[in-house]
């Protein structure tokens, strides 16, 4: 959208909010006093950003954010809790600013069901909310792994109590012990994240638990991102990397991972299970990409299965990576499209998103990876812009420092 068009658009919304007659939202406003209501499910990087930008760009819509937790723990940087470079408090956020600064109504509850024909959602607490447009941003849910009890064998792939549990288990591990972690087949949340974790933990064990061993069981055929950097770090740290090791089951008490590459016994076992879109996506009939992810129109993130429902973040099935930075970008595309649709227009026809991941490799160094995705009219899909792809040549202390600049910007753009 050009700046002139955006100004004109915002002016029309501003006039609409001040006017007593319902003129700015044809087809949506049914009474002179009715304002469009957008409900957002999930207050992570995707949902919080969408809620914020809907209100940042328009005072003429009402926005309700439904999220069960008062505190959000960022998975981004959570691997640094494992090596004591960060604590959970430093990666925790609340929704107070979204409420006070942007006028978003925040409801701490869980969405049990969506009634699409009626355009309502049912909250666990008993409330029913009506929406004109619904944004679903529930992140991921974990698929079943036989024998896995995450209270004994943490995933730590959603940050918070699980992160603390894994950190405590590592702290209690005897020197000379074995840390085994498993990586699911792609796609999963944060492609470099598991390799990053293996590096951070291996580096920490070298100093704090001498003689310990790290084993990485990867269901993929090889390291799927930054293979040179992670491969070199694995060699330096003595990590045993096992490709094509699909997890078949877990003995959570004995801490044994049963994989297609054999059984591996651990002192500390970290299983990152295979993932799908959040449960509300699956149970609402929206997971029409491989039965796991939500098919959407990338111009608006509107579901290809059910109208007036948009899915963003890790649950979407556009083929873009499942990562917080790009979830934040998708949220803005979605918010912009919804405001255009509510005012009788069409979504912007050439959206661009970008992804960035900084990966700590040790307690003092990090690498990075970035890519831009652009809408391809011929296929109707978001496509990687090849010349946009960039990655660090080697990890460095400079990148470690920049990692925190990047997260500060992302965190502020989402929650402040």
Ligand X SMILES: Cc1cc2nc3c(=O)[nH]c(=O)nc-3n(C[C@H](O)[C@H](O)[C@H](O)COP(=O)(O)OP(=O)(O)OC[C@H]3O[C@@H](n4cnc5c(N)ncnc54)[C@H](O)[C@@H]3O)c2cc1C
Smallest distance, ligand X to C-beta of residue 290, A: 18
Torsion of CA 107, 302, 284, 247, to 10 degrees: -100
Q: Tell me which of 274, 313, 317, 351 binds ligand X, using CB under 6 A.
A: 313
> Is 324 an interacting residue with respect to ligand X (CB under 6 A)?
yes
Q: Which residues, 270 to 289, sit near ligand X by CB under 6 A? A: 278, 280
Task: Give the Cα separation of 219 and 245 in Å (integer).
Answer: 5
DSSP class of residue 388 equals G
Please give the structure tokens belonging to residue 195: 């390799």
Q: Is 42 in the site for ligand X (CB under 6 A)?
A: yes
Q: Which of 411, 407, 381 is nearest to 320 (CA)?
A: 381
* Per-residue DSSP letter, 173: S
The one among 58, 64, 79, 275 contacting ligand X by CB under 6 A: 79
125/176 with CB nearer ligand X = 125
DSSP structural state of residue 143: P
Residue in 24, 37, 43, 224 binding ligand X, rule: CB under 6 A: 43
Burial readout 314-332 (b: 16 or more C-beta within 10 A, e: otherwise) = bbbbbebbbbbbbbbbbbb
Stretch that binds ligand X, among 5-13, 137-145, 261-269, 387-395 (CB under 6 A): 137-145
Residues 214-253 as x/- pattern, contact with ligand X by CB under 6 A: ----------------------------------------
Burial 232-260 (b: 16+ CB within 10 A, else e): ebbeebebebbeebebeebbbeebbbbbe
Q: Residues 323, 333, 334, 338: which binds ligand X (CB under 6 A)?
A: 323
x/- letters, 107..136, toward ligand X (CB under 6 A): ---xx-------------------------
Among positions 326-345, residues that touch ligand X (CB under 6 A) are 327
Classify residue 234 by its DSSP letter. H
**What is the spatial distance between Cα 397 and Cα 415, in angstroms, rounded to a whole number?**
27
Which of 13, 24, 36, 45 is close enough to bind ligand X by CB under 6 A? 45
Binding site for ligand X (CB under 6 A): 41-47, 66-69, 72, 75-76, 78-79, 110-111, 137-139, 157, 189-190, 193, 278, 280, 313-314, 322-325, 327, 357-358
């Amino acid at each position: 959208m050009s700046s002139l068009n955006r100004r004109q658009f915002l002016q029309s919304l501003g006039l609409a909010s001040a006017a007593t007659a319902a003129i700015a939202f044809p087809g949506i406003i049914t009474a002179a006093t009715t304002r469009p209501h957008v409900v957002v499910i999930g207050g992570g990087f995707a949902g919080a950003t969408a809620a914020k930008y809907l209100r940042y760009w328009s005072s003429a819509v009402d926005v309700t954010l439904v999220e069960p937790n008062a505190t959000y723990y960022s998975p981004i940087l959570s691997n640094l809790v494992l090596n004591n470079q960060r604590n959970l408090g430093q990666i925790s956020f609340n929704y107070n600013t979204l409420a006070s600064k942007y006028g978003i109504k925040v409801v701490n509850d869980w969405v049990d069901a969506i009634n699409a024909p009626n355009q309502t959602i049912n909250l666990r607490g008993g409330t029913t909310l009506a929406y004109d447009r619904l944004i679903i941003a529930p992140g991921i849910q974990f698929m079943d792994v036989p024998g896995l009890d995450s209270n004994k064998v943490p995933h730590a792939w959603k940050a918070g109590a699980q992160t603390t549990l894994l950190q405590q288990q590592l702290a209690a591990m005897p020197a000379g012990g074995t840390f085994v972690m498993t990586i699911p087949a792609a796609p999963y949340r944060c492609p470099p994240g598991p390799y990053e974790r293996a590096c951070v933990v291996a580096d920490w064990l070298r100093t704090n638990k001498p003689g310990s061993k790290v084993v990485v069981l990867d269901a993929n055929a090889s390291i799927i991102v930054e293979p040179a950097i992670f491969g070199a770090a694995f060699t330096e740290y003595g990590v045993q990397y096992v490709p094509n090791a699909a997890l078949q089951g877990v003995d959570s008490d004995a801490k044994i991972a049963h994989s297609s590459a054999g059984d591996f016994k651990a002192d500390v076992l970290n299983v990152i299970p295979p993932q799908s879109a959040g449960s509300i996506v699956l149970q609402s009939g929206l997971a029409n990409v491989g039965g796991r992810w939500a098919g959407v129109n990338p111009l608006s993130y509107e579901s290809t299965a059910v109208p007036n429902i948009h899915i963003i973040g890790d649950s979407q099935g556009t083929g873009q990576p499942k990562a917080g930075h790009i979830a934040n970008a998708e949220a803005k595309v979605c918010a912009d499209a919804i405001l255009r649709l509510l005012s009788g227009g069409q979504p912007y026809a050439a959206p661009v998103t970008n992804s960035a991941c900084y990966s700590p490799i040790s307690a003092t160094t990090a690498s990075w990876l970035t890519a831009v995705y652009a809408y391809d009219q011929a296929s109707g899909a978001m496509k990687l812009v090849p010349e946009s792809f960039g990655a660090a040549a080697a990890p460095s202390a400079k990148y470690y420092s920049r990692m925190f600049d990047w997260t500060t910007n992302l965190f502020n753009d989402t929650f402040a």
